[in-house]
A and B are shown apart, each in its own frame.
Chain A
Amino acid sequence: MVNTFGTLQFTTKICIANTGTVVGPVEKDSTFADSFDEVLSLETEKDETNEQAHARMIESACHWAAKKGHTQVDKVDVLIGGDLINQLSPTNFAARSLAIPYLGVFSACASSMESVILGCLLLESGNARTVLAGASSHHQAVERQFRYPLEYGTQKPKTSQWTVTGAGFSLLEKDLKNTPVVTHATIGKVVDSQQTNPLHMGAAMASAARDTIERHLTNTNSKMADFDVIMTGDLGNIGISILKEMFQDENTGVILQDAGAQFYGNDKFFNAGGSGAGCSAVVFFGQIYDQLKKGSFKRVLLVATGALLSPLTFQQGETIPCIAHAIECRMEKRG
């Protein structure tokens, strides 16, 4: 049932040639720190705005991905990217500097996989030779827009999450050897489970993740046990336990994991864990990509989860609709 109900099967060999991940200073102590290409010493330099620093981080991640993929940014056909800031300004301004054809996308924290899916479609149809696809988030910029000024004193509940400062981009190319291949993808559906608390997004996003995972498994005729890992982007530690409970009939065991829940380890300061468009991007394109390339993982499902609320919809008393986009990656046997 592929190529129906949102699940795609790519018939050409679409590879993730390489990746670039740049994170902020707080992320230096992350569980995934070893896999990041660059750790910035300051989230925002003295004479720049948050958004300028955010754009700079995106450019840097793109340069890393291109360099590691043995090319240069200006030789890439298309850039696809997204972030959480109004009108995608940081990505737009980064695209201005990078100066290659560009598609900006938004699905909140699911933007990383939305970018990759669109990139794969461009390659599959022969409409691009190489694509840079990814997403990013910047803690201070997001806090100001969605929540409160940085120095405002509030008591954060245990369900709240910490927006990751990070940009992760992948270089997509066809027909390479010994590189992870994107074989399938499932486009998410907007799912609203009537949650209204913007400080508990894990609960809001769990249903969207479940819908996408179930559809993917059904449409590709697979079971969870066929995968080495199924990783969601940022459900957080409470959100992932809700998702596991929803799959209670399956033995999810260690297969079903969440990048956000693991991002900052056991540090209670970060409450339910990491979140943000950059969270899924830097973990999927960092640690998970490395494991695929090494051969430790042979088949993974990466499910980026996004909460489609805005500060306005919250004030208007709306519920929080969510979406989850997924790609399936396999590592071919070393030939």
Chain B
Amino acid sequence: MISSLVTAFIVGGLICVVGQIFMDVFKLTPAHTLSTLVVLGSILDGFGLYEPLIDFAGAGATVPITSFGNSLTHGALAEAEKHGLIGVLTGMFEVTSSGISSAILFGVIGAFIFQKRKTTY
């Protein structure tokens, strides 16, 4: 169990380092950085490399935003394998990207619960 935690830490940390390099060295905005990482996750799954990464690093690969790209692509490919080209479209929308749906849900719940805070520092 300890080794899983260590690999999660290291792989997750390294993906974040890539993001930090995009921001500091290439001067990308957060939106540009995250969009690029999502696309990278998608491409890696196209090459069949992301699922093995998840097997190796667990949460170190499922938690970073790259896993969105992976799960959307994975769903599309799984359906395409079964139903051909049309599966590319249907598969994507079948995969519940729980990150997106939970963000929407907790977003509106958060808006409901939390008052606008005072500016503090």
Contact = CB atoms under 8 A, between A and B. Distances in A.
Interface in B17-64: 23, 30
B115 A46 contact: yes
Contacts of B118: 25, 42-44
Contacts of A270: 121
Interface in A153-171: 154-155, 165
A155 B22 CA distance: 13
A249 interface: no
Interface residues of A, number: 17
Is chain A's interface secondary structure helix, strand, loop, or mixed overall? loop
A140 B119 contact: yes
A25 B120 CA distance: 9
A27 to B, nearest CB: 10
B13 to A, nearest CB: 16
Contacts of A26: 119-121
B119 A43 contact: yes
A150 interface: yes
Contacts of A151: 117
Residue of B116, B117, B120 with highest tally of chain A CB at under 10 A: B116
A266 to B, nearest CB: 14
Contacts of A24: 119
A16 to B, nearest CB: 30
Contacts of A140: 116, 119
Given A26-B119, A44-B118, A150-B116, 12 more contacts: A24-B119, A25-B119, A26-B120, A42-B118, A43-B118, A43-B119, A50-B116, A140-B116, A150-B117, A150-B119, A155-B23, A165-B119
Interface of A: 24-26, 42-44, 46, 50, 139-140, 150-151, 154-155, 165, 269-270
